[in-house]
Amino acid sequence: MVNKVKVLVLRGPGTNCDGEAVFAFEQAGATATRVHINQLIRKEISLFDFQIMVVPGGFLYGDDIAAGKVLANELKVKLGEEVARFIDDGRLILGICNGFQVLVKAGILPRLKKGEPQRLTLTNNDSGKFECRWVYLNVNRKSPCVFTKGMERMYIPVAHGEGKIAGDLTAITDKNIVVTYMDEKGNQSAGYPWNPNGSMRDIAGICDDSGRVFALMPHPERHIRGTQHPQWTRFGAKKHGDGFPVFQNAVKYAATI
């Protein structure tokens, strides 16, 4: 019997999308376990018992200081070596919404060398308010991203107040840009509200050079089933939602590790 892919869904005070992340990965055929950050820090659970680590959405530590910053510091200071080895071993990391903020501010994505300053960040939406809406995403087919292999577009929701990518975009290359906001006609420079936060170059998600570390602001785990589409009763429900292939691709890849 082939062992199932094991997924660590990281949580802490304020995480609120861990249940959806567990469900999505289990629907894709993996075994997913919620693990508190303190369990990793105290060595009660080993990161290396898993092939995939997910940092899900929420408001970790109340987003005090800045969104995701407190957990980012914990990962960087207390678990930095383990996370670096986890990546170097060929395993996968997915950050969603608050998880994207965490990975960027921890220097995991884009991956920073020791002592290298952070050049990108996620900051307040241009609208000055929390944005909760469905968005269209274009998938960059030239990206090496493992999670979006074979995908062309997605229609999934956002829910964030600090989702604007800003800073020095030379920190990433075109192939690191995995998903960008667009309108329903495919216009990738449509502006607000299709780009809900004012993110530079309409960027919604990025990956590292290997394609195994991926993070995005929209929530693929909230569109797993066709009946989660806001207009499924009008247009009919597909078997799976647009976000489901993200998890299928991850599980399929991780099974080869």
Mark whether 221 is an active-site residue.
yes
Could you write out the DSSP letters of every residue in 8-53? EEEE-TTB--HHHHHHHHHHTT-EEEEEEHHHHHTTSS-GGG-SEE
Name the active-site residue from 131, 145, 207, 219.
219
Q: Residue 115: exposed, middle, or buried by beta-carbon count in 10 A (0-12, 13-18, 19+)? A: exposed
The CA distance from 219 to 156, in Å, is: 6
HSE (CB half, 13 Å, CA atoms) of 152? 1
CA geometry: angle at 160 spanning 157 and 165, to 5°? 100
Looking at residue 194, its amino acid is W
Name the active-site residue from 97, 145, 162, 223.
97
* 215 close to 104: Cβ distance less than 8 angstroms: yes
Bridge partners, residue 120, by sequence = 167
Bridge partners, residue 181, by sequence = 137
- Structure tokens given for 107: 């220097």
Name the active-site residue from 131, 207, 221, 229.
221
Q: Which residues are catalytic?
A: 97, 219, 221
